[in-house]
Amino acid sequence: AQSVTQLDSHVSVSEGTPVLLRCNYSSSYSPSLFWYVQHPNKGLQLLLKYTSAATLVKGINGFEAEFKKSETSFHLTKPSAHMSDAAEYFCVVSTTGRRALTFGSGTRLQVQP
Amino acid sequence: NAGVTQTPKFQVLKTGQSMTLQCAQDMNHNSMYWYRQDPGMGLRLIYYSASEGTTDKGEVPNGYNVSRLNKREFSLRLESAAPSQTSVYFCASSVNRELFSNQPQHFGDGTRLSIL
């Protein structure tokens, strides 16, 4: 079985301050991990993915995430928040060849001016 | 580039009515998926298709049917709509033939469905 836990349902930051969105996962196999962003009334857009290469993954719009196997975590960070980052973010775990794709419940990021 | 196109964008149905949600992708992807999104629950997989002519159940298939009409199109049908099926429905596609690989999925903008 596999699961994903996004530890915060809401995160609020000020523009220009760092962003940290936390994700823990469990998987019996070597997982692929993704972060997606969803803006209002839109579909999900891929931010970045981890697929067993480098543990520090860089994505679009200045986001990055670090895969830590010992902590079963895949936290999303950005050094400086922008107003346009306000959206909902989903952590996703996938296991190749297995009938399982699991989404976290989402973290809503609010960016204050 | 259109990517993944879903129609309609909004729909209101009465309980017991039927409806088909359409999805088409122009990226020559092999796999296609249907999800529903409910508040606080992330996305849940309804059905998926690894190739033309093949479909399989996901996490929440009850009350739905699907058709992979060709490589481009994957439709979702509600035969007798129920209020519990009020949700936002997303179609997605990915290049892999192997299900749930390390390839990302590309999503449409969703269909907002209300059932009264």
Which of A32, A48, A35, A54 minimizes the C-alpha distance to A107? Answer: A35
A26-65 tens-digit pLDDT: 877 778 899 999 998 888 999 999 977 788 999 999 999 9
Asked if A51's CB is within 8 angstroms of B43's CB, the reply is no
Asked if B98's CB is within 8 angstroms of A90's CB, the reply is no
Q: How far is CA A32 from the centre of its chain?
A: 12
Mutation for testing the A interface, residue in B43, B109, B113 having most A CBs under 10 Å: B43
Pair B30, B53: CB distance under 8 Å: no
How high is the mean pLDDT of chain B? 91
Asked if B101's CB is within 8 angstroms of A106's CB, the reply is no
Mutation for testing the A interface, residue in B10, B46, B90, B105 having most A CBs under 10 Å: B105
CA distance to partner chain B, nearest, from residue A35 (Å)? 10
Pair A85, A111: CB distance under 8 Å: yes
Q: Does the beta carbon of A24 lie under 8 angstroms from any beta carbon of chain B?
A: no
How high is the mean pLDDT of chain A? 90
What string of pLDDT tens digits covers the 116 residues of chain B? 679 999 999 999 999 999 999 999 999 999 999 999 998 778 899 999 988 889 999 889 999 999 998 999 999 999 999 999 999 999 999 888 766 667 788 999 999 999 99
Find all residues with CB under 8 Å of A65, minimum gap 6, and list them: A33, A35, A48, A50, A56, A57, A59, A74, A75, A76, A77
- Omega of the bond leading into B8 within 30 degrees of 0 (cis): yes
Element (H, E) at A6: strand A3-6
B88-103 tens-digit pLDDT: 999 999 888 766 667 7
Asked if A103's CB is within 8 angstroms of B43's CB, the reply is yes
Pair B67, A20: CB distance under 8 Å: no
Asked if B43's CB is within 8 angstroms of A90's CB, the reply is yes
